[in-house]
Amino acid sequence: MRVRRLAAALSLAVAALLTTTATTATAVTATTVTAGSPAADRWPEPAGVRAAFPTGTVTDPGSRTLFTDDRGRVLQLRGFNIDKYGETTEDDLRSIAAHGFTLVRVAVSWTRLEPERGRYDRAELAKLHRLLDRAERYGLLAVVDFHQDVYGPKFGGGDRGVPLWATRDDGLPFVEDPDDWFAGYFQPAVQTAFRHLYDDADLRRLQGEFYTRIATELRGHRSLLGYDLFNEPFGPVDGDPSDPAVLAASAAELEQGRLPAMYQRLIAAIRRADTRSWLFVEPTVLVGQGVPTRLPALADPRPGPDRLGYAPHFYDTAVEGGHDWDPAGGFIENYTAAITGYPAAHRLPVLVGEWGPPNARTPGNAELVRRQVAAMSGFAAGWTMWYWCRGSGGYCVLGPDGRPAPGEEPAFAPYPAALAGRPVAERADGAVWTLTFTAARGGGVSELVLPGTGYPRGVRVTVGGVRAAVVDVRQPDGDRAGVARIRLPAAPTGATVTVTVAPR
């Protein structure tokens, strides 16, 4: 990606600073200023929004719990999963921020960090520190994801997951299916390894010590949003796993017993070292089939309000199996119905940790991406898409040219990164995006991200519904996002504001 400095002799398209006292909408059109002028100097590089750390939450009338910053603004955190394979570079983080995103979910591996019991890999820890330092440099927040696939490396998981020294399979068989990696979860050896991890007192203690050590290492990083405590938890399945009723019963048993017990241990382990971070829990993957979680309420021992969140994944099993998405299957509707009850009951912000099809280039999967973005704007406080990479498929959100891959464009849409009010609705109609929100008492500054990939000729921002508004717009530029900062004066709580973003 090209990195442009303010010292360079180049022009930036920004909006004129406009104030109106009329009751009608205020249209903001772009003017051109040169770098180094007072207007341009308001926009230091790198372009984009610097993520604000959520210090609290607010629950809207629809029972959705949203993150808020120390000014009471509602935050939307959006970004991508990175570093599962240890491949993420500084250019990747710079590019994610330049596209207007504020969040990364960083996969870490117990195997790589503690390859031998009690011996931590200093090179891996140093690499993780560098990644968080770079995230801060580019205004990103990071969720550290304790990642596992099919338990760990003994079962074909590469160097990811639970280390060999913490794997107990009682000598039971494991036969890998090269055409279906997920089927490995149902192998007797894997089932037994999970059972030991949940039940054995020494493994419980060693896992807790690992989490405390990582939290001790990483505390103090300003970019650290928090931790996803255990990726895609699984457990023993008593019976035929091809029977949906057996799977549902096994998931319910796990979520009502072993899994929350593990989560409470891991919450306590991290809180021994870190009382600032947010801690996110995941349900089993059956939520993707429309099965609501049976997790109970969890307790946060930190002083002050809890900082716990809910981090489900948003995958359609048929699409994961290679099929093009069929809207008639009811996946979006069933998932949304299944996902909303638990966080509403316990006032937890929803951060969708993984979502997106293996290949968005097909017509159905492209529509799936569009529908998922629209759905999450109604129930989630943020999301991280799977996966930030370049390629011609295989979940990569960027094509070989580094631009959004065909079908992935809805993920690169405008969004309210920080809102001085409460969101009511978002709507996308082609390239025209509309946001409605109710203004906060006392006014404030809202920040909207304007992706350059969707507005190559610039944008027109219209603000209506308030007596006065001051709007600064930094135009998007190529792959670099712009930002609209909307300063609202003091307004009665409940005053409705409408913002429309359209191509010039």
Read off the pLDDT of residues 321-368 as tens digits, 9 standing for 90 and up.
Answer: 999 999 999 999 999 999 999 999 999 999 999 999 999 999 999 999
CA–CA separation, 167 and 174 (whole Å) = 13
The model carries a pTM of 0.91
Residue 23: pLDDT over 50:
no
Sign of CA dihedral 216, 219, 221, 226: positive
Higher pLDDT, 489 or 311: 311
Residue 87 reports pLDDT greater than 90: yes
Please tell me which residue, 61 or 262, carries the higher pLDDT value: 262
**pLDDT band with cut points at 50, 70 and 90 for residue 95:** very high
pLDDT at 30: 29
Percent of the chain exceeding pLDDT 70 equals: 90
Residue at token pair 């709007």: 471
State the alpha helices, DSSP H only, in 38-174.
38-41, 90-98, 110-113, 122-137
- Residue 229 has what pLDDT? 98
What is the band of 88 on the pLDDT scale with cuts at 50, 70, 90? very high
Residue 268: per-residue pLDDT: 98
pLDDT at 503 over 80: yes
The pLDDT score that the predictor gives to residue 7 is 28
404, 452 Cβ separation under 8 angstroms: no
Beta bridge partners of 67: 57, 75
- Give the model's confidence band at 37: pLDDT under 50 very low, under 70 low, under 90 confident, else very high: very low
For tokens 């509707």, name the residue. Answer: 333
Q: What is the mean pLDDT of the chain?
A: 89
Interval 294-309 mean pLDDT: 98
CA 328 to chain centre: 27
Written out in words, the top-level CATH class of the domain with range 76-109+121-133+141-170+227-412 is alpha beta
pLDDT digits (tens, 9 = 90+) for 423-460: 999 999 989 999 999 999 888 999 999 988 888 888 89
Cα-only R_g, the chain? 23
CA pair distance 52, 58, nearest whole angstrom: 15
pLDDT in tens, 242-297: 899 999 999 999 999 999 999 999 999 999 999 999 999 999 999 998 999 999 99
Q: Are strands 141-146 and 224-228 parallel, antiparallel or unpaired?
A: parallel
